[in-house]
Amino acid sequence: MNTQSSVLPLAGYRVVDFGWVWAGTVAGQIMADMGAEVIKIESRRRLDGLRLGRVFEVGETLELNHHFHNFNRNKKSLTLNISQPRAQELIRQLVSRADLVLENFTPGTLRKYGLDYEALREVKPDVVMVSVTAAGQTGPLNDMLAYAPVMQSIAGFDGLVGYEGGPVFGVKQAYLDVMSALFACYAALAALHHRDATGEGQHVDVSGFDVGVSLIPDVLMDYTANGRVAGPQGSSHPTMAPHGTYPGREPDSWIAIAVTDEREWIQLGEALGNPPWCGESRFADLAGRLAARQELDALLATATAQHVVGDLTAELQRRGVAAFPVHNIAGVFFDEHFNAREIFRQVDHPVAGPGYVYQTPWRFDGEPAPIRRHAPLLGEDNHEILVGLLGLSEDEVARLQAEEVVY
């Protein structure tokens, strides 16, 4: 992509970002990375939990939390105390000059402040608003207080995660937060596309619960069609065997291997030095390997345990077999391919110094989206927006600060 900020895909679009913590915030992050002017509305009255490190760990000041830095790079910060009528008025003025509003408050919160979709349409008839919440704007559970690990359970997701025949573990990592943020971003782009084509804005309701359900269609459809209720799956797969993770020679090293056909099965055997069980007729075809899956996994584990997983991966890939080490974050950070692709970038922050953030993971004409700016300091862009954009005088701003409107 042309990395000059004036020619990035979303250059010229202005976003009012009420997002806090993860899901709403990352939708804004993507749009900021892609060139939109994303104005994060925050306030000392109720700080984004990530500034304080409440959700992840305790940070020491408002400017040191690296999760905050990651999710809010390329954005601007405007401190407005949303509970104050004058602040609400200023936000409405801002929205009248914006294209999109992103928010992930509990349903009903913005209505309390006169900043819900109906109210904002009065100042900007074609405004696009995307609301992303745990369980959506409507329905008996719309007030549900929950984080991703909980929504992953209610959506039917977690029940599939555990060893076969064992207890449910659940995913635990916040996969649904990421997917909700991405769906919200997608919805925003689609709604903006429609608005650009027709002049019509709209409100989009994105629910984490809905997101989880939409990502496990086959399990749900196997139930509606055949009455089957799936439980913990282990690493097994209905049409591939072997398919799973197997130990390597070094402590806590594992290799993921997936074999789809007979050619790959033979190649796997050769790469392992043709242990005698590889040639057994019961393993010769997929049906046989699926039937004797557990025994196969145990035998394969004894073979892989003699190899360094990186070396075995290279050998298997050379032979056209899908294999890869199970990386933890250290593995990802030091991996030669991910380094060549520069998926993490150092960004200099005025208070915290240099810190790593992840790169938005797609390249346009070979170029990733540039990280143009550090995550904003609290209220860093107050002057530019209040005076420069909204036309307030310096005196007015000072007064509003004293009144804790700009706060």
- State which of positions 325-384 bind other proteins (CB under 8 A): 325-333, 335-338, 340-341, 343-344, 355-366
Nearest distance in Å: CB 308, other proteins: 16
Burial of 219 (0-12, 13-18, 19+ CB in 10 A): middle
Taking CB under 8 A as the rule, does residue 152 contact other proteins? yes
Closest CB to other proteins among residues 24, 379: 24
Angle at Cα 266 formed by Cα 293 and Cα 275, nearest 5°? 70
197-218 b/e (C-beta count within 10 Å ≥ 16 → b): eeeebbbbbbbbbbbbbebeee
> How many amino acids of this chain bind other proteins (CB under 8 A)?
153
DSSP annotation string for 210-221: HHHHHT-HHHHH
Nearest distance in Å: CB 229, other proteins: 5
The whole-angstrom separation of Cα 362 and Cα 143 is 35
Strands (E), 155-197: none
Among 3, 9, 52, 397, binds other proteins (CB under 8 A): 9
Nearest distance in Å: CB 335, other proteins: 8
Q: Is 252 a catalytic residue?
A: no
Task: Identify residues 41-70 at the interface with other proteins (CB under 8 A).
Answer: 54-55, 57, 66-67, 69-70
Binding flags for other proteins, 109-148, as an x/- string (CB under 8 A): --------x-----------------xxxxxxxx-xxxxx
Task: Identify residues 170-229 at the interface with other proteins (CB under 8 A).
Answer: 170-175, 178-183, 185-187, 189-194, 197, 200-207, 209-211, 213-226, 228-229
Nearest distance in Å: CB 364, other proteins: 4
- Asked if 216 and 155 count as a contact pair (C-beta separation under 8 A), the reply is yes
Task: Identify residues 239-258 at the interface with other proteins (CB under 8 A).
Answer: 239-240, 243-247, 252, 254, 256, 258
C-beta pairs of 214-223 under 8 Å, 24+ apart in sequence: 215/155, 215/157, 215/179, 216/155, 216/156, 216/157, 216/160, 219/156, 219/160, 220/156
78 is written with which tokens? 């405007």
Closest CB to other proteins among residues 78, 135: 135
Taking CB under 8 A as the rule, does residue 14 contact other proteins? no
Which residue of the set 33, 99, 177, 205 is catalytic? 177
Task: Identify residues 77-116 at the interface with other proteins (CB under 8 A).
Answer: none
Closest CB to other proteins among residues 18, 117: 117
Nearest distance in Å: CB 272, other proteins: 17
Among 157, 265, 283, 407, binds other proteins (CB under 8 A): 157
Altogether, the residues listed in the chain come to a count of 407
With H, G, I as helix, E, B as strand and everything else as coil, classify residue 130.
Answer: strand
Nearest distance in Å: CB 381, other proteins: 23
Task: Identify residues 294-313 at the interface with other proteins (CB under 8 A).
Answer: 301
Closest CB to other proteins among residues 28, 244: 244
Cis peptide before 325 (omega within 30 of 0): no
- Asked if 31 and 13 count as a contact pair (C-beta separation under 8 A), the reply is yes
Write the DSSP symbol of residue 384: I
Residues labelled as active-site residues? 177
